[in-house]
Amino acid sequence: MKIYSAEQLQKADSLSIKNQNISSTDLMERAAGLVFNQIHSRLEGSDIEIKIFCGIGNNGGDGLVIARMLLEHGYKVKVFIVNYSEKRSRDFLINYDRFKNITKDWPVLIKNQNDFPKIEEGDFVIDAMFGIGLNRPIEGWVSALVEHINKSGAFILSIDMPSGLYAEQVPGNTAGIIKANFTLTFQSPKFTFFLPQTMDYVGEFQVLDIGLDREFLAKTNTNARLIGKEQARLLYKNRKKNSHKGDYGHTLIVGGSYGKIGSIVLSATAALKTGAGLCSVFSPECGYEIIQTALPEAMVITDNQKKHLSEIKIDFEPDIICFGMGAGTGDAALNAFEKLLKETKLPMLIDADGLNMLSKNKALLDLLPERSVLTPHPKELERLIGKWDDDNHKIKKVQKFINKYNVILVLKGAHSFCFSKEEIFINNSGNAGMSTAGAGDVLSGVISGLMSQKYDPVIAAVFGVYLHGLAGDLAAEKMGYEAITAGEITNNLGGAFLELFREEENLN
């Protein structure tokens, strides 16, 4: 799913009005009607009073349409107009008059803090104050109103986006942002829905297709794309009936040290569970019995050193080398890694201590094979590229880094970001239970297993991150978040492949 900018969505609005021969008021009625349907399907029969806070622009116009529809269906509705300016949009004024025509209970004007209504825990609040056109922080008494709503304990539903949040940037002042429980957003999710600094303001969200111009949306290129089940399914490569293990590649997992052999067992297991035809593991000598016992399907080659890596010698050419898990950052391992980089031409996957070695000796970055995949968590990324001011600054630094070294970077998080030179891919699978030791080692194995099967490195990263998250979701369904371990994520990889092609149940 493409993630459009505010400018692109505003242009899509204009083209839709022109090409569909409708008015902007008609389009607002359509969009707000979809919001009403969602609310009505959940609250039908409820006598709860719904408090709607409307701005004086088009987002406020949406709120007024929703308010009118709710009233027409018998709901208790109280509308508050947040009068932060004397200017009103045309569609706001039209829908203000339409609302007044159906009720004697006219909207209450809020002009300062003395006008703030009482909001209690358990109330249902609809936030329709500011939409995607906002380009400066909310300040003064309006910011105080936002804080008043946030502190109330009410359930907050935001229309299109939480008021105070920008579509693409992290606001300089996050104090003036509505913290929604749920957001119903129009046509496309917004980029800030996925940034660590801003995603908590959005709560859960649902995208409502309001029927904007299809041709424009299809032809318009975006900087970011959300990867869900539908998109991930298209990335899968069918396996041929007439094939053998050699057709699916040979993955080499390199890493481990005394006490940290489990990390490479997790990676190797995940590579095989993802479909790699062969998997070899190179570890210190202390890993031999552990790996052979834990994973009999893997072949094991050992270093001359018992407890750490010192020299990586193999007598075959793997399709992908996955390096770093549990390797440590001692001088011997660092020298072995440098030699491996000099000898390797195919793209690699580098994780964990491999990333820390790159940070420790930045000259090694120039030795990275082109289109290698790096999979840092935020702290590893900071060591690699330096500190950042906010999420926007971080993204700019990552893009500069990947362009300089021609690599793909997977930034792990609640919504993992896959950065390529062309586009940012944002993952939409996974859950909080995956915040557990070894989950990253499993991800490295998944992506490596796909790369060994000749998936393009970008596709392997994007598809691998989605599969990994989906396996975690399946694990959570069975045991809840707290009981998930890295091994359970691996155990559900087969189910994740099956789930890709399982049709959703029709509940109608």
> Is 99 within 8 Å of 81 (Cβ atoms)?
no
CA distances from 247 to 276, 315, 321, 351, 456 (A): 9, 20, 17, 26, 15
132 annotated as a binding-site residue: yes
Which residue, 487, 483, 408, 404, is CA-closest to 448? Answer: 408
Question: Is 412 within any annotated ligand binding site?
Answer: yes
- Strands, E assignment, 105-181: 108-110, 124-128, 155-159
* 326 is known to lie in a ligand binding site: yes
Residues 387, 380: Cα–Cα separation, whole Å: 11
Q: Is 415 assigned a ligand-binding role in the annotation?
A: yes
> H or E element: which one contains 410?
strand 408-411
Q: Is 416 annotated as a binding residue?
A: yes
Which one-letter amino acid corresponds to residue 404? K
Task: State yes or no: 224 annotated in a binding site.
Answer: no
420 labeled binding residue = no
Give 83-102 as a DSSP string: -S-S---HHHHHHHHHHHTT
137 marked ligand binding residue: yes
Q: Any known ligand binding at 440?
A: yes
Q: Phi and psi of 141, rounded to 5°?
A: -70, -25
CA distance 352 to 255: 10
Helices and strands, number each (H, E), in the chain:
17, 18
What secondary structure letter does DSSP report for 329? -
58 labelled binding-site residue: yes
135 is in an annotated binding site: yes
104 marked among binding-site residues: no
Residue 277 labeled ligand binder: no
Amino acid at 75: Y
Query: 480: annotated binding-site residue?
Result: no
Using an 8 Å Cβ cutoff, are 55 and 128 in contact? Answer: yes
Contact 418, 459 (CB under 8 A): no
**What is the number of residues in the chain?**
508
Q: In 3D, which of 226, 179, 185, 187 has the Cα closest to residue 203?
A: 179
Q: How far apart are CA 331 and CA 410, in angstroms?
A: 26
Helices 439-452 and 262-273 cross at an angle (nearest 10°) of 40
Annotated ligand binding at 127? The verdict is yes
Closest by Cα among 257, 282, 258 to 268:
282
Nearest CA among 36, 94, 26, 30 for reference residue 60 = 94
Cβ atoms 446, 274 nearer than 8 A: yes
Is there a binding annotation on residue 233? no
Q: Which residue has the tokens 């009233």?
A: 71
Report the C-alpha gap between 282 and 265 in whole angstroms. 11
Residue 377 marked as a ligand binder: yes
Which 8-state DSSP code applies to residue 180?
-
The DSSP H or E segment spanning 266 is helix 262-273
Find out whether 384 and 359 touch, Cβ atoms under 8 Å: yes
Query: 13 a known binding residue?
Result: no
Annotated binding site for K(+): 59, 127, 163
Annotated binding site: 58-62, 127, 131-137, 160, 163, 326, 377, 412-416, 440-441
Annotated binding site for AMP: 412-416, 440
Annotated binding site for (6S)-NADPHX: 58-62, 131-137, 160, 326, 377, 441
